[in-house]
Amino acid sequence: MYEELGAHLCVLPPNATSVCQPLDLGLLEDIIVGDDDDPFSLTAREKRMALVKRSIAAWDLVSSQEICRSFEKALSQAQ
C-alpha cells in the first residue's frame, strides 16, 4: 500500500484511540470547525437557490407521460 498511496495501513488494538488518536478526532476536527469561517461557503439563501435549481432540473427529466402513468397507477390502487 505504501508504494501505491504513500501510506502505511495498520490495525489498531481495541481501545487504542485515546492513545493513538486518529485524524478525524484530532486534526480534522479543527479543519471542520474552521470551515464555518470559510469565505467561500454558501449562505443559507444560496443553498436554497441551489436546491430549487436542482429540483427544477430533476423535474425537467420527468416526462408528462410518466406523471400521468403515476397518477393512473395511484388511483387504480386506491380503488
Looking at the domain assignment, is residue 21 inside a domain?
Answer: yes
DSSP state of 40: T
Spatial separation of the C-alpha atoms in residues 48 and 72, rounded to whole Å = 32
Count of structural domains within the chain = 1
Looking at the domain assignment, is residue 7 inside a domain?
Answer: no
Looking at the domain assignment, is residue 2 inside a domain?
Answer: no
Distances (CA, A) of 67 to 61, 72, 77: 11, 9, 16
Looking at the domain assignment, is residue 6 inside a domain?
Answer: no
Domain holding 25, by residue range, is 12-78
Cell numbers 488494538: residue: 13
Tell me the pLDDT of the chain (79 aa) as tens digits.
Answer: 667 777 777 777 787 766 666 555 555 565 566 556 666 778 889 999 999 999 999 989 989 899 898 888 888 887 7
Looking at the domain assignment, is residue 42 inside a domain?
Answer: yes
Looking at the domain assignment, is residue 4 inside a domain?
Answer: no
Looking at the domain assignment, is residue 39 inside a domain?
Answer: yes
CB atoms within 10 A of CB 29: 12
Looking at the domain assignment, is residue 54 inside a domain?
Answer: yes
The phi and psi torsions of 13 (rounded to 5 degrees) equal: -70, 160
Question: What pTM was estimated for this model as a whole?
Answer: 0.41
pLDDT tens per residue across span 20-38:
665 555 555 655 665 566 6
